[in-house]
Structures are given as structure tokens and as C-alpha cells.
């Protein structure tokens, strides 16, 4: 999985990523960033749920399928039709 601006997982807890706050100072999208600055340590943290991870993976797989120009549903439908109509009688 790709994380923005070199974010690293925090321990074994899922849903938490952090990086050094100084890396974010030069980012042109800093005002739109979902990463929040921590108050006690100079780090930034991104929180996310397992549902958000699953959604991101689904979107990534869907985008990969679109770029490969392969339509899996059409292939499955053709296979089912060939099993139902083995001699092409319609």
C-alpha cells in the first residue's frame, strides 16, 4: 500500500501512520492534507479505519482493471453462455 509523503505505520496498531513534521512544510497540498500535527511531539499522524483501507484497495484494483482493458464480467458472461449453449444454437 502506498502512503503519502513517506508515512510509516506506528507499531502494530492498525489505522495510525506518522512522519516527521518538517517533511510537510514544503508540500504544496498541506492545507488539504488529512494528516494532523501532534501536540506533544513534532510528528504528524494520519488515522484511518479498516473500511477505508478496503475501499482504497477496491478502487486501486478497479483502476488497474480499467487500464488493462480487460473486462472480467464480459469474459465470465461468455464462459457461462458457452456452457449453457455448447453448440451455438442461441
Going by C-alpha positions, the residue among 81, 62, 58 that lies closest to residue 72 is 62
Q: Give the H or E element holding residue 61.
A: helix 50-67
Tell me the pTM: 0.48
* φ/ψ (deg, to 5) at 52: -65, -35
Collapsing DSSP states into helix, strand and coil, what is residue 5?
A: helix
pLDDT score of 66: 80
pLDDT tens digits, residue range 21-76?
Answer: 676 777 787 778 777 777 787 777 777 778 888 898 899 988 888 887 777 788 88
Amino acid at each position: 500500500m502506498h502512503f503519502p509523503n513517506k508515512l510509516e505505520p506506528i507499531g502494530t496498531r492498525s489505522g495510525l501512520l506518522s512522519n516527521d513534521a518538517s517533511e510537510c512544510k514544503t508540500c504544496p497540498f498541506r492545507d488539504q492534507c488529512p494528516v494532523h500535527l501532534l501536540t506533544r511531539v513534532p510528528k504528524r499522524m494520519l488515522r484511518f479505519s479498516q473500511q477505508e483501507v478496503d475501499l482504497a484497495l477496491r478502487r486501486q484494483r478497479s483502476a488497474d482493471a480499467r487500464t488493462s482493458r480487460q473486462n472480467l464480467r464480459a469474459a465470465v458472461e461468455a464462459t457461462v453462455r458457452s456452457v449453457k449453449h455448447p453448440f451455438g444454437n442461441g
